[in-house]
Structure 1
Amino acid sequence: MTRVVLLGSSPGPDTSPTGLRLATMPGNPTVGERLRNQLTSMDPRPATIESGDVAAALRALADVAESATENLFIIPENSVVHDELIYQISKTKRGALALVAKEPRGGSAVAEEAPEAPEDNGPEEYVPIDEAEPEIGHNRVEGLPVRVRIGKSRVVSVGTARHAVTRPNGVVLGPLHVSARNAPMLAQTCRELAAMADVFGPDDDLVQLVVFGLVRNGVSVGIRGRRDLFYRRVTTQEEVNEAVPEMAGMNEDRSRLNNAVKGADGFFTTYFVSTYSRFIARWFARRGWTPNQVTLISIALGVAAAACFATGDRPLMVLGGVLIYFAFVFDCVDGQVARYARKFGVLGAWLDATFDRFKEYVVFAGLAVGWVVSGNGDDIWILALTAIGLQSIRHLLDFSFGIANRRKPPAKLPTLALDVPDDRDLRQALVRRKVERTQGLRRVLKMWTKAGKYRAVHWARKMIVFPIGERFAAIAITAALFDARITFLTLVIWGSVAAIYTLTGRLMRSLV
């Protein structure tokens, strides 16, 4: 479960009630009613905080965070949002995640009409970030003051009406997810902010204030854009009337379907399976099939492939190659059904992990049997057992490293007192941290990571580790075109290279 916190009208631009009607939607609900219905599955009794008084709202949020034993999902009550966007943000594995929007380039953001607003000094974007002076952001994006510095993967710094930030380039739109492990820090941060509430300006948004405090207290706040999904805060009926058709014009189901596909899949899976397997997954999901039922299809295809290989007959070897390919396709489909239909379970995860290995090993046995019955001798079992042993060791190393890595505490970020008027010290500390993290082995790992921006290197790194998609493809192709000996030699040689590469990388990461 997730603890949901609904923020009433924010002290900044959101000053209207959430009684605005979504007239074109079934039941003519208010904005607030629709949002509550969307969040019922997460938390049937969400905490509601009126945010007209900033100090009181921050203290109330601190109370909720202190008593929370689960993750927290904080969202303004006047939000119009797709269900899928709520789901994707709330299921993040990051310690904290905020929905953000960057300021459009070319000065298209609306500047606040205020005496202290700075003049447009031209193409400021060409000034190096390390030479830029902290500033109080006065431009607005969707009614929110641009006082957030957004990096490649996280919020770098946040300002307020009294706290300058270096090169602000975006806003925190509203939804904020905070993991249970960061809930105590959220509570502490909110109390510190409440004690200095008189410092903030009337246009400072409550969610941005919370992120301001979290970042300065060393919490890594990840970022997520809306991408192909809809989110907007509404304050007038006119804005509601504009938002509803705009949201309806976006294909939420397509986004949900795309999200069902793993983003870190290998080359073969990405280009030769996931291009169409997602549509098979949707077909199964809409007809009530469970992921476990699809897993059984994959297992049956794997066993059938092994039986074909065991004959040693060339046409059946080709058929076996086709069957093992589709066994892998349905192995992908079961996970995609689970993510699309949101049907997860311990049994399904166990079946999927266990029978992936079962399919591989029964196919190995089928290939060896087929070689023997064809009169080629029984020395093939040495290669078969070597392939099984190598793959078992690789899975053991993967499993143990994953456990050890989860126990590793997250890297600490620099902190900065909340009353410091600008973020110069924080930026300098981040630069020093970056330098420290690019020494020795860290430098080598950093260079290898940066090399991944080149497409050829990216896919080469994906393929060299010999993931399951490449393994099943290698089995299907070599068994259909050649023979079992070639198949096992491919598995052993490529698997050995993958094991050496993976083990080297993990040893390096363990030492830094």
Structure 2
Amino acid sequence: MTFVVLATEPGDPTAELDYSAGTTLLDRLLGQLAALKVADVRVIARPRAAEVLRKNGADARGLEIIESADVAGDLREVGRLARAKGEMVIAHGDLVVSDELLTRLVRDKTTTAVTAKQPVSGSRPAVRIAGRRVVSAGSRYHQVTDPDGVFRGLLKIVESEALADVCERLTMLVDMLPEVEPVRVLGRERGKSLDVFVDNTARDELDKAVRQHRDLGTTAPAEPDTAALVLVGLVRAGIRVTARNVDVLVCERALDAAQAAAAREAVEAIDEDRVRLDAAVKGDDGWFTTYFVSTYSRYIARWAARRGLTPNAVTCISMGTAAIAALWFADGSRLGLVLGAVLLYFAFVFDCVDGQVARYTRQYSTLGAWLDATFDRGKEYLAYAGLAVGYGATHVGDVWGLACAVIILQTCRHMVDFSFAVHKGSVPPAPIRELPLDVPDDSLLDPAPAASRHAAPRKGLGMLAVRASAALENIPGARWGKKIIILPIGERFALIALTAAFFDAKVTFLALLAWGGLAAAYTLSGRILRSLA
């Protein structure tokens, strides 16, 4: 991967502006890239900035400086590097970015732009986002209709050939493009389109620490934004560009000393380890998992990670705990059922911890995903077997028929869920219309043209169900009710543990059949109606 730094702003903030005593903005960025083991770094600089960088020892550090006189030259060099080097990250050298955010972007596998949901002004390029995708991007020469965010000057591109072609077209056009108003407002309401991607509980508190710095983002760059032009070209060429919202973390250009100081203060106000830890917790878990496990499991995950435990090791601990729980269930006594219930709960806790360790340490593997899914079923079915054995040892008769019925029901439910998820994932996203780069108005990029915006809403039972489901999301408690009714794994393990501890295996299996049957009917009808819609 090649990292291209743009040192193109008059006044040379990249080369001369201090982030801290004796450390320039560029020094800090290079240190971050070295920590990430990014070896191929190129700096595209104006002649004066290049001279300052060389005087400061850039050549001795092995840093390649590419002189460029104007934006057309910047684009030409970016296109050349794209054809020669492939995957690329483009960033302004005067950018102050949190370590965690830069790490996420460098390791991203898609073409991604760092964006922010903040008031749109002329100081930063505007964007419009739908479904976590940038559907329109702006520059001095390209408008954005009804923008809902800004581009922060950090862009990763994996489609190198497409990038090279875009840069070639822009190079020929940029000197002839007239400047336009950056924002075009139609006055219509837009839905929530820029979501919080990964940051959860840290967001509210840490947002305040960042947004109190009014110096940030208030000064418009003097030079046209090369990175923004590249983003416009990619979007208008139909390339899918994922929007990564900064929200809690910092990503701002510092164009003067006051902004550099404010950016440093914003970075230091954030506990990035806490942000990463909160990001390790899924934001869409079930009610039981959210309130009875995730409130503390993240700290177990951090403890495990700091002691070198891998996600797969935690998965095996979870499986082993479930096996011991099943042995206690097989004892059949009240003590055995209670101890089995407690151990099954902690087996589920470790089941959550393994994924959190993987996300916290960024250790992902196909083996880990397979083990996690396989052991989830294994833990559940071991518990059923243990309960059935224990019931037979302490009661007249057995419950093996009920146990088999529960296993068949759960297997059918998993089959329906997995097949539906695979089908949804196989549907390609709606394409964005390609638009020439010499057209300032972006209205043709709108995935919902004016004619269809005012069209009559679609009817039918399927659409009625979709609208009802969406309406329930806005009713307090209804969202959790929808999650609970489908009996996800957290609620299922809780149901097994509680009914086993307070009653017996027969009650456990009957409860699972009753609730599981309701969940299957609800889920299956919902899948059918959504498919029709």
Matches within 5 A, 1:323-334: 323-334=343-354
For residues 478 and 80 of structure 1, the distance between their equivalents in structure 2, rounded to whole angstroms, comes to 54
1:218-229 to 2 correspondences below 5 Å: 218-229=238-249
- How many Å separate the matches in 2 of 1:281 and 1:217? 42
Partners of 1:4 and 1:436 lie apart in 2 by 46
Distance 1:464 1:185 in 2: 46
Match of 2:191 in 1: none
The SS at the match of 1:244 is: helix
Q: For residue 419 of structure 1, what is the amino acid of its counterpart? A: D
Partner of residue 349 from structure 1, selected from 366, 369, 376 = 369
Which amino acid in structure 2 is aligned with residue 54 of structure 1? V
TM superposition shift of 1:5: 3.0
Contact kept, 8 Å, 1:146 with 1:169, in 2: the verdict is no
1:422 alignment counterpart: 441
Structure 1 CA distance for aligned equivalents of residues 276 and 439 of structure 2: 43
8 Å contact kept, 1:4–1:39? no
- Equivalent of 1:102, from 112, 118, 121? 118
Change (3 A) 1:241 1:160: closer
2:153 to 150, 164, 174: 174
State the shift of 1:146 in Å: 5.3
Following the alignment from structure 1 to structure 2, what is the Cα–Cα distance between the partners of residues 211 and 486? 59
1:195 to 154, 160, 172: 172
Aligned-partner SS, 1:196: helix
Report the CA distance between 1:145 and its aligned residue: 3.8
Are 2:291 and 1:271 aligned?
yes
| Pick aligned residue for 1:313 from 324, 327, 333 | 333
The one-letter code sitting in structure 2 at the alignment partner of 1:385 is C
SS in 2 for 1:366: helix
Segments of 5+ residues of structure 2 without an aligned counterpart are 46-67, 180-221
Is the counterpart of residue 298 in structure 1 residue 315 in structure 2? no
Q: 1:8 aligns with which of 2, 6, 10?
A: 6
Distance 1:386 1:42, change over 3 A: farther
C-alpha distance in 1, partners of 2:286/2:323? Answer: 24
Residue 496 (structure 2) aligned to one of 475, 484, 497:
475
Do the aligned partners of 1:437 and 1:443 also contact (CA within 8 Å) in 2?
no
Q: Which amino acid aligns with 1:196?
A: L
Provide the C-alpha distance between the structure 2 equivalents of 1:168 and 1:14, rounded to a whole number of angstroms.
Answer: 30
Aligned match for 2:77, one of 60, 73, 86: 60
**1:486-506 C-alpha deviation (Å, 9 max, x unpaired):** 211222232233333333444
Number of the residue aligned with 2:414? 395
Return the alpha-carbon distance in structure 2 between the equivalents of residues 357 and 176 of structure 1. Answer: 41
Report the equivalent of 1:371.
391
Q: Is 2:485 aligned against 1:464? A: yes
Aligned amino acid, residue 364 of structure 2: F
Q: Distance in 2 between matches of 1:43 and 1:499?
A: 49
Amino acid of the structure 2 residue aligned with 1:257: L
Shift of 1:290: 1.9
User: 1:206 matched to which residue of 2?
Assistant: 226
Q: 2:469 aligns with which of 433, 448, 452?
A: 448
Determine whether 1:255 maps to 2:275. yes
- Change over 3 Å in CA distance of 1:365–1:36 after alignment to 2: same
When normalised by structure 2's length, the TM-score is: 0.78
The percentage of counterpart residues that share the same residue type is: 43
Alignment check: 8 A CA contact 2:465 2:529 kept: no
- The DSSP-based 3-state class of the residue aligned with 2:4 is strand
Following superposition, the deviation at residue 325 of structure 1 comes to: 0.8
Partner of 1:132: none
Distance in 1, Cα, partners of 2:299 & 2:337? 29
CA spacing shift, 1:76–1:320, aligned 2, 3 Å = same
On the 8 A contact 2:278/2:298 being kept in 1, the answer is yes
Tell me how far 1:183 sits from its aligned partner: 4.8
Conserved in 2, the CA contact under 8 Å of 1:5 and 1:49? no
TM-score when scaled to structure 1? 0.80
Counterpart selection for 1:44 from 39, 45, 48: 39
Partner of 1:160: 139
Structure 2 vs 1, CA of residues 505 and 75 (structure 1 numbering), >3 Å: closer, same or farther?
Answer: farther
The DSSP-based 3-state class of the residue aligned with 1:148 is strand
Shift, 1:297, TM fit: 2.0
In 1: Cα distance, 2:152 partner to 2:318 partner: 42
CA distance in 1, matches of 2:13, 2:137: 25
Q: 1:434 to 1:242 in 2, by over 3 A?
A: same
Correspondence 1:105-120 to 2 at 5 A: none
- 1:13-28 aligned at under 5 Å gives the runs 15-23=12-20
RMSD over aligned Cα, in angstroms? 3.1
Cα drift, residue 101 of structure 1? 4.4
Take 1:8 and 1:196, find their aligned partners in 2: how far apart are those partners?
20
Matched, 1:33 2:27: yes
Q: State yes or no: 1:322 paired with 2:307.
A: no
User: Is the partner of 1:18 in helix, strand or coil?
Assistant: helix
